[in-house]
Amino acid sequence: MEPGNVTQISEFLLLGLSEEPELQPVLFGLFLCMYLITVLGNLLIILAVSSDSHLHMPMYFFLSNLSLVDICFTSITIPKMLVNIQSESKVITYLGCITQMYFFLLFTALDDLILTVMAYDRYVAICHPLHYTVIMNPHLCGLLVLVSWIISILHSLLESLMVLQLSFCSHLEIPHFFCELKEVVQLACSDTFPNDIVMNFSAGLLGAGPLAGILYSYSKIVSSICAISSAQGKYKAFSTCASHLSVVSLFYGTSLGVYLGSAGTHSSQSSAVTSVMYTVVTPMLNPFIYSLRNKDIKRALERFFGK
């Protein structure tokens, strides 16, 4: 089969999670509910942090940024999926697919980097409490978030521009509910070796790198907590990072499970189903983890609603 010119490609087909007609209303209702819960929950976190002066501190500044990223993260994929189910269409335009892929890569990397920044914040708070306000000043906090945005933008731009250089054949079915980078590259007829190199390098740099930073931060945090003499002091120190640790475990546990599981089964459809965990479920659960385990957030929400 002769490769087609990339400029002649007009659309891709998103096969979704299932092609069974009877499952489409169930999937539509389920994902609509999860999307609304995700947006509402994360929006409440942002409103609570912005409206309560008691929460104007680095930890909650990073949390509000994480909530914003989670809203954008799910808004890139779920609405298009819902539209396709409702209209009984699987089509996504070539430009729409590249755009969706770009923003998905952007917010995935940003989610990862902000979790790493939050780990550093907890490290400074527990290991250097007397210098916390000096180290985590507003200038540094803003700079950390800005650098995270810049790295994420450059990474997603590089990956997307490399995909634009590929030529595609006539078989343009993506066995996923969104334009996932790896699936799109596999459809190309031209040489994808440079794309594979960049994808693997990026996975190591933006996946393993931040994870190593988080693990290092928590190794220092655990050492500092163990050095505290009183049990109450240990509990208080651990409680300040318990929510973040839960979110990190959920994010990395689900994402690693998806890619390791799909590598073992070699099934694109299985990968699409399991990827729901980190693309939809994790952003939905984050607000619950932080609000249920954090008294400051609870009080801020109560004050916001005037209770």
Looking at the domain assignment, is residue 2 inside a domain? Answer: no
Number of domains in the chain: 1
pLDDT digits (tens, 9 = 90+) for 128-137: 999 999 999 9
The residues that bridge with 168 in the sheet, in sequence order, are: 4, 188
208 to each of 60, 62, 196, 213, 271, how far by Cα in Å? 25, 21, 17, 9, 20
Instruction: Report the relative pairing of strands 11-14 and 173-174 from DSSP bridges.
Output: parallel
Looking at the domain assignment, is residue 151 inside a domain? Answer: yes
Looking at the domain assignment, is residue 228 inside a domain? Answer: yes
- Could you tell me what percent of the chain has a pLDDT over 90? 59
- Which residue segment(s) compose the domain that 39 sits in? 8-304
Between CA 161 and CA 263 the distance in angstroms is 26
Sign of CA pseudo-dihedral 131, 136, 140, 144: positive
Looking at the domain assignment, is residue 135 inside a domain? Answer: yes
Phi and psi at residue 14, to the nearest 5°: -90, 110
Q: Above 50 in pLDDT, residue 54?
A: yes
Q: Which CATH number do you get for residue 234?
A: 1.20.1070.10
Looking at the domain assignment, is residue 3 inside a domain? Answer: no
Looking at the domain assignment, is residue 67 inside a domain? Answer: yes
Q: Count Cβ neighbours within 10 Å for each residue of 68-95 and write b for 16 or more, e otherwise.
A: bbbbbbbbbbbebbbebbeeeebebebe
Residue 259 has a pLDDT of 66
Looking at the domain assignment, is residue 1 inside a domain? Answer: no
pLDDT digits (tens, 9 = 90+) for 23-40: 999 999 999 999 999 999
pLDDT digits (tens, 9 = 90+) for 92-128: 999 999 999 999 999 999 999 999 999 999 999 999 9
pTM of the model: 0.91
Looking at the domain assignment, is residue 224 inside a domain? Answer: yes
